[in-house]
Structure 1
Amino acid sequence: MKNLFSLFAKNQSLIYKVFLFIVSTLLIIYFLPKGGQFKYNFQKGKPWQYENLYAPFSFTIKKNEDTLKKEREEIRANAIPYFEYDSEVEASVIENFNNNLEVKYIDSLFKTPEKTVERLANVFISDVYKNGVTDEIHNYDNDRLIYLKKGNEIEERNYSQLFKKENLNKKVRELVEKNKVEDVQVLLYNILNEVFEPNVKLNSKLTEASIDAEIKALNPNRGIIEKGGRIIAKGEVVEGDKFQILESLKAEFQSQIWSKNNYLWLLVGYSLLVSLVFLMLFLFLKNYRPYIYNNNTKVTFIFFNIFLMVFLTTLVLKVHSDYVYVVPICILPLILKAFFDPRVGLFVHVLTILLLGFIVPNSFEYMFLQFIAGIVTILTVSELYKRANLFISVGQITLIYILGYFAFFVIQEGNIQTLQWENFGYFILCGLATLFAHPLIYFYEKIFGLVSDVSLLELSDTNSKLLKELSNKAPGTFHHSLNVANLAEASANEIGANSMLVRVGALYHDIGKMLNPTMFTENQANSINSHNELDPKESAQIIIDHVIKGIEIARKNNLPDRVIDFIRTHHGTSLVYYFYKKEREQQGSANKEDFIYPGPIPFSKETAILMMADSVEAASKSLKEPSSTIIDEFVEKIINNQMAQGQFLNANITFKEIEMIKKVLKKKLNNIYHLRVEYPE
Structure 2
Amino acid sequence: MNKYDMSERNQWKKILSRMALVLISVVIIVLFIPRNSGPQFRYDVGKPWMYGSLIAKFDFPIYKTDEAIKQERDSLLRNFEPYFNFKENMESAQMTRFFEDFTGGLPGMPATYTNIVADKLHQLYKSGIMGATEFSSIAQDTTKMIRVIDGKTAYSVRISRVLSTMTAYEQIYLDERLAPYRAQLQRCNLNEYIEPNLIYDKERSEAEKNDLLGQIPLASGMVLAGQKIVDRGEIVDDYTFRVLSSFEKETQRRSASTTAVPSTIAGQVIFVSLFIILFTMYLGMFRRDYFSKPRSIAMLYAMITVFPILVSLMIEHNVFSVYILPFAMAPIFIRVFMDSRTAFLTHIVMVMLCAAAVKYQYEFIIVQLVAGLVAIYSLRELSQRGQLFKTALFVTLASCAIYFALQLMTDNTFTTIDNSMYKYFVINGIMLLFVYPLMLIIEKTFGFISNVTLIELSNTSKDLLRRLSEVAPGTFQHSIMVSNLASAIAEKIGAKAQLVRTGALYHDIGKMQNPAFFTENQNGVNPLDNMSRIDAAHIVINHVTDGLKLAEKYNLPGVIKDFISTHHGAGMTKYFYVSYRNEHPDEPIDDSLFTYPGPNPFTREQAILMMADSVEAAARSLPEYTEFSISNIVNKIVDGQLKEGYFEYCPITFHDIAMAKQVLIERLKSIYHTRVSYPELKKPALKRDDEE
Relative distance call for 1:240 and 1:529 in structure 2 (3 A) is farther
Q: Secondary structure at the match of 2:175?
A: helix
Moved more, 280-289 or 607-616: 607-616
Could you say which residue in structure 1 is the equivalent of 2:27? 26
The whole-number CA distance in structure 2 between the counterparts of 1:439 and 1:557 is 21
Q: Which amino acid aligns with 1:58?
A: D
Could you say which residue in structure 2 is the equivalent of 1:305? 303
Deviations 1:56-86 (A, max 9, x none): 33334455xxx32663477469745958779
Residue pair 2:634, 2:665 contacting (<8 A) in 1 also: no
Residue pair 2:570, 2:597 contacting (<8 A) in 1 also: yes
Is structure 2 residue 582 aligned with structure 1 residue 564? no
The whole-number CA distance in structure 1 between the counterparts of 2:382 and 2:666 is 31
Residue pair 1:476, 1:522 contacting (<8 A) in 2 also: yes
Deviations 1:396-441 (A, max 9, x none): 54555556556656765667679584x6665565555555545544
Deviations 1:89-119 (A, max 9, x none): 7667767877898899554xx7895235414
Could you say which residue in structure 2 is the equivalent of 1:284? 282
1:630 Cα deviation (Å)? 8.2
Q: Paired residues, what number?
A: 665
1:17 Cα deviation (Å)? 0.9
Relative distance call for 1:517 and 1:660 in structure 2 (3 A) is closer
Q: Which amino acid aligns with 2:528?
A: S
Relative distance call for 1:543 and 1:250 in structure 2 (3 A) is farther
Residue pair 1:491, 1:665 contacting (<8 A) in 2 also: no
The whole-number CA distance in structure 1 between the counterparts of 2:640 and 2:237 is 68
Rg larger in 1 or in 2? 2
Relative distance call for 1:680 and 1:521 in structure 2 (3 A) is closer
The whole-number CA distance in structure 2 between the counterparts of 1:78 and 1:490 is 84
Could you say which residue in structure 1 is the equivalent of 2:175? 175
Q: Secondary structure at the match of 1:11?
A: helix
- Aligned match of 1:484 in 482, 485, 491? 482
Q: Secondary structure at the match of 1:349?
A: helix
Q: Secondary structure at the match of 2:57?
A: coil
The whole-number CA distance in structure 2 between the counterparts of 1:497 and 1:482 is 19
Q: Which amino acid aligns with 1:175?
A: D
Q: Secondary structure at the match of 1:600?
A: coil
Is structure 2 residue 233 aligned with structure 1 residue 232? no
1:175 Cα deviation (Å)? 3.1
Q: Any unmatched runs of 5+ in structure 2?
A: 680-692
Relative distance call for 1:364 and 1:570 in structure 2 (3 A) is farther
Moved more, 447-456 or 292-301: 447-456
Relative distance call for 1:90 and 1:19 in structure 2 (3 A) is same
Q: What does 1:233-248 correspond to in 2, within 5 Å? A: 233-236=231-234, 241-242=239-240, 245-246=243-244, 248=246
Residue pair 1:82, 1:147 contacting (<8 A) in 2 also: yes
Moved more, 187-196 or 301-310: 187-196
Q: Any unmatched runs of 5+ in structure 1?
A: none
Moved more, 644-653 or 327-336: 644-653
- Aligned match of 1:525 in 502, 523, 526? 523
Deviations 1:23-70 (A, max 9, x none): 2223323333446564x97766455554x543333334455xxx3266
Is structure 2 residue 58 aligned with structure 1 residue 57? yes
Residue pair 1:169, 1:189 contacting (<8 A) in 2 also: no
Q: Which amino acid aligns with 2:556?
A: L
The whole-number CA distance in structure 1 between the counterparts of 2:382 and 2:104 is 84
Residue pair 2:57, 2:225 contacting (<8 A) in 1 also: yes
Q: Which amino acid aligns with 1:115?
A: T
Could you say which residue in structure 1 is the equivalent of 2:683? none
Q: Secondary structure at the match of 2:222?
A: strand
Moved more, 306-315 or 238-247: 238-247
Give the TM-score taking structure 2 as reference length. 0.73
Q: Secondary structure at the match of 1:361?
A: coil
1:526 Cα deviation (Å)? 2.2
Could you say which residue in structure 2 is the equivalent of 1:364? 362
Deviations 1:626-666 (A, max 9, x none): 68x78996898689859976959954789699969967995
The whole-number CA distance in structure 1 between the counterparts of 2:199 and 2:408 is 48
The whole-number CA distance in structure 2 between the counterparts of 1:103 and 1:634 is 134
The whole-number CA distance in structure 2 between the counterparts of 1:586 and 1:303 is 59
The whole-number CA distance in structure 1 between the counterparts of 2:148 and 2:523 is 105
Q: Which amino acid aligns with 1:126?
A: Y
Could you say which residue in structure 2 is the equivalent of 1:347? 345
Could you say which residue in structure 2 is the equivalent of 1:184? 181
The whole-number CA distance in structure 2 between the counterparts of 1:616 and 1:215 is 92
Relative distance call for 1:57 and 1:387 in structure 2 (3 A) is same
Moved more, 206-215 or 124-133: 206-215
RMSD over aligned Cα atoms: 5.6
The whole-number CA distance in structure 2 between the counterparts of 1:440 and 1:459 is 18
Relative distance call for 1:468 and 1:131 in structure 2 (3 A) is closer
1:623 Cα deviation (Å)? 5.9
Q: What does 1:400-415 correspond to in 2, within 5 Å? A: 401=399
The whole-number CA distance in structure 2 between the counterparts of 1:73 and 1:433 is 42
Residue pair 1:57, 1:226 contacting (<8 A) in 2 also: yes
The whole-number CA distance in structure 1 between the counterparts of 2:110 and 2:274 is 102
Give the TM-score taking structure 1 as reference length. 0.74
The whole-number CA distance in structure 2 between the counterparts of 1:653 and 1:571 is 19
Residue pair 2:34, 2:315 contacting (<8 A) in 1 also: no
Relative distance call for 1:254 and 1:150 in structure 2 (3 A) is closer
Could you say which residue in structure 1 is the equivalent of 2:690? none
Relative distance call for 1:216 and 1:348 in structure 2 (3 A) is farther
Could you say which residue in structure 2 is the equivalent of 1:16? 17
1:348 Cα deviation (Å)? 1.6
Could you say which residue in structure 2 is the equivalent of 1:621? 620
Q: Which amino acid aligns with 1:18?
A: M
Q: Secondary structure at the match of 1:26?
A: helix
1:352 Cα deviation (Å)? 0.9
1:488 Cα deviation (Å)? 4.9
Could you say which residue in structure 2 is the equivalent of 1:603? 603
Q: Which amino acid aligns with 2:473?
A: P
Residue pair 2:631, 2:665 contacting (<8 A) in 1 also: no
Task: State, as a whole percentage, how many aligned pairs show the same letter.
Answer: 26
Residue pair 1:576, 1:597 contacting (<8 A) in 2 also: no
Could you say which residue in structure 1 is the equivalent of 2:121? 122
- Aligned match of 2:293 in 295, 313, 322? 295
Q: Secondary structure at the match of 2:229?
A: strand
The whole-number CA distance in structure 1 between the counterparts of 2:200 and 2:432 is 47
Residue pair 2:329, 2:432 contacting (<8 A) in 1 also: yes
Residue pair 1:293, 1:299 contacting (<8 A) in 2 also: yes
Relative distance call for 1:555 and 1:121 in structure 2 (3 A) is same
Relative distance call for 1:569 and 1:135 in structure 2 (3 A) is same
Relative distance call for 1:661 and 1:279 in structure 2 (3 A) is farther
Q: Which amino acid aligns with 2:600?
A: P
The whole-number CA distance in structure 2 between the counterparts of 1:662 and 1:96 is 116
The whole-number CA distance in structure 1 between the counterparts of 2:495 and 2:60 is 60
1:506 Cα deviation (Å)? 2.2
Relative distance call for 1:222 and 1:527 in structure 2 (3 A) is farther
Q: Which amino acid aligns with 2:303?
A: N
Residue pair 2:169, 2:194 contacting (<8 A) in 1 also: no
Q: Which amino acid aligns with 2:330?
A: L
1:509 Cα deviation (Å)? 1.8
Residue pair 1:28, 1:274 contacting (<8 A) in 2 also: yes
